[in-house]
Amino acid sequence: MYKIFVYHSLSPTSCYDSMIIFRLVVRGLSLTLNRYTFVFLFKECGNSLGVLEGEQVQVHAIKVGLENNVFVTNVLIGMYANWGLVEEARRMFDCSVERDMYSWNIMVGGYLGTGDMD
């Protein structure tokens, strides 16, 4: 039920609103948040340049054991790439247990986005 509130609060400028709901859910309830919740939050934070919020969500994703989920990892890499933090995106890419074509495309796009062609 609460995951629906997080999903529905997502819009191009609502990282802050999504994080308010996320914090209420995490602090007040013993819910198991799934990979989809984190995928939406990472994507929203990456699109809105919510660096602090994205890093907070990353810590929680690690706490619940989703750091090796390919979907979560890919969106996390994309979040850092969207912020222009390609070295951090590369670190996440290098540490990822599973990489797919999407992982590689995110990294290539991240380097192209910062003008790093080497």
- Residue 92 tokens, joined: 């996440």
- Say which residue the tokens 């529905």 belong to: 8
Instruction: State how far the alpha carbon of 81 is from the alpha carbons of 22, 46, 88, in Å.
Output: 23, 8, 8
> Mean pLDDT for the chain?
79
At residue 105 the predicted structure's pLDDT band, cuts being 50, 70 and 90, is very high
At residue 94 the predicted structure's pLDDT band, cuts being 50, 70 and 90, is very high
Return the domain boundaries, the chain.
2-113
Widest distance between CA atoms in the chain: 47
Question: Residue 100 corresponds to which amino acid?
Answer: D
At residue 1 the predicted structure's pLDDT band, cuts being 50, 70 and 90, is very low
Answering whether pTM is above 0.85, one says no
Mean pLDDT computed over 51-66: 84
